[in-house]
Amino acid sequence: MAQAPPKNPERSIIWFKRFQYDKERDSPRDARNVLLVIATLIAAVTFQAGVNPPGGVWQDDGRDRKEIHAAGRAIYASQKRPYYVFLISNTLALSASLLVIASLTYGFPFQFEIWVATVSMMVTYASAIFAVTPHESVHYRYLLITAAVPIVTRFLIQMFKKFRKSTKHAWSNKLSTYDQEVDGQTGQRV
């Protein structure tokens, strides 16, 4: 039996690196376009999953096992915890992808229309979730908090960066003032 040639671990890594973002090879425009395609795909998939939940909806009113179900309600909602995990994860993914789309298209022509479409999409998603989810199976405030998490997180990151920059600038000014004071006392440059 012939032996397989030994695998070169560096070579197996090299093919993967070819697909990674490289500042010297890839332009910011190309990176933005790729991110827009990915975010749009995620938004489309999560929106569709929210409007048509896994397992579909009950077609009639009735009783299944010990539970009563209503027509138009998600079948998956009869499993409360898994459905809740699905809703939270799906809402988080949709909200994050819409934030990426809105951020990457900032300053584009028709900016206002993009925002209107984004907000309308989120409202449509929320109304579909409210329509197919039995009221007793989900606390809607958790879904609203989940939808706000990417926006609040991005805001906090921006504020932290701004604070860090202003703090760094303030320390730089204090150090230069201190250097000038020391320089003035000794008559020498520090």
C-beta of residue 49 within 8 angstroms of C-beta of residue 74: no
Q: Is 69 helix (H, G, I), strand (E, B) or coil?
A: strand
Beta-carbon contacts of residue 109 (< 8 Å; ≥ 6 apart): none
C-beta of residue 148 within 8 angstroms of C-beta of residue 92: no
Q: What digits encode the pLDDT tens for the residues 12-34? A: 567 767 777 778 888 888 888 99
**For position 26, what pLDDT does the model report?**
81
Given the structure tokens 């000038």, which residue do they identify? 180
Q: What digits encode the pLDDT tens for the residues 89-111? A: 999 999 999 999 999 998 888 98
> How far is 104 from 102, CA to CA, in rounded Å?
6
Higher-confidence residue of 72 and 11: namely 72
**For position 181, what pLDDT does the model report?**
61
Beta-carbon contacts of residue 74 (< 8 Å; ≥ 6 apart): 53, 55, 56, 57, 58, 83, 132, 133, 134
Percent of the chain with pLDDT strictly greater than 70: 77
**Alpha carbon separation from 46 to 51, 74, 87, 176 (Å, rounded):** 9, 16, 10, 53
148-159 burial by CB neighbour count: b if 16+ within 10 A, else e? eebeeeeeeeee
Q: What digits encode the pLDDT tens for the residues 126-144? A: 999 988 888 765 678 888 8
> How far is 79 from 20, CA to CA, in rounded Å?
40
C-beta of residue 121 within 8 angstroms of C-beta of residue 101: no
Q: Is 64 helix (H, G, I), strand (E, B) or coil?
A: strand
pTM as predicted: 0.73
Q: Is 61 helix (H, G, I), strand (E, B) or coil?
A: coil
Of 58-67, 73-82, 152-161, the one with minimum mean pLDDT is 58-67
- Return the domain boundaries, the chain: 28-147
